[in-house]
Amino acid sequence: MAAYSDGYWWSNDNLRLHYRDYAGDAERPPILCVPGLTRNARDFEGVAERLAGRYRVICVELRGRGESAYAKDPMSYVPLTYAQDLDRLIGELALDRLIVFGTSLGGIVAMLLAATHRERLAGVLLNDVGPVIEQAGLDRIRSYVGRNSAWPTWVHAARAVGELNRDVYPDYALEQWLRMAKQLYRLNQQGRIVPDYDAKIAEPFRAPGGEAGVDLWPALDAMAEIPMLIVRGERSDVLGVETLARMKKRLANAKSIIVPGVGHTPTLEEPVAVRAIDRFLAAITG
């Protein structure tokens, strides 16, 4: 297992935010990993452990997730604020050139970063997300985000994860559901297993337009010259086939892959994703 150090930075509204920092080749652009709506730095454990050493991998936790502080104002749980938070981190770490891996919400944040840091972005991976989010996916996510759930054991939590995601990962067994549960949840002070995020992140997300808050096509167009890999789960209900086709028409340097048999989102540890990521990184860094 690759070692990492814990790092912290402060947001514009004085929240202490957390990231995991895996050491790597200082001559190559670091990889900034930005997780999805209810996820945290553990979501990229497999990716980071595989790439660490060759690349510095920085796995952030957005406000309200994991070890990052919860916001006093739940209406700050929006992509524009997340992008401002990461802008602070990029400045503090003096990341003059970086690669961004964005999963779901993290991909939306990556698109917004392109508007302010286009010259710094050596490449972007968008994991199962684009400027248009399919209504079926939105409805599914809104049905569970922010629910106050708690379980007495990890097996109970794993079974709950399996029930919620059986259509996303139809081939998963209990072992995979246990791993996923330990990425998503934490043990609280009462000894119960609970989601590892502030339930109030659901408040702006449930509002009309809360999934992004802005028209993302111009943000995508700002990435036109940036090397890009778009990953779509074959069963995805978030990134539609038509949206992916439109994205590829607008992005001269974009390549895409379909991860068979999974929905929203691929883990990026699937063999087809591993091969594509290695090709993508080799084209950028050699």
Distance of CA 43 to the CA centre of its chain: 8
| Residue 155, C-beta contacts closer than 8 angstroms, at least 6 positions apart | 174, 178
Residue boundaries of the structural domains of the chain: 5-134+213-285
- Superfamily grouping for domain 5-134+213-285: Alpha/Beta hydrolase fold, catalytic domain (3.40.50.1820)
Local structure of 162: helix, strand or coil: helix
- pLDDT, one tens digit for every residue, the chain (286 residues): 779 999 999 999 999 999 999 999 999 999 999 999 999 999 999 999 999 999 999 999 999 999 999 999 999 999 999 999 999 999 999 999 999 999 999 999 999 998 888 899 999 999 999 999 999 998 898 888 888 889 999 999 999 999 999 999 999 999 999 999 999 999 999 999 999 999 999 998 766 554 555 689 999 998 999 999 999 999 999 999 999 999 999 998 899 999 999 999 999 999 999 999 999 999 999 7
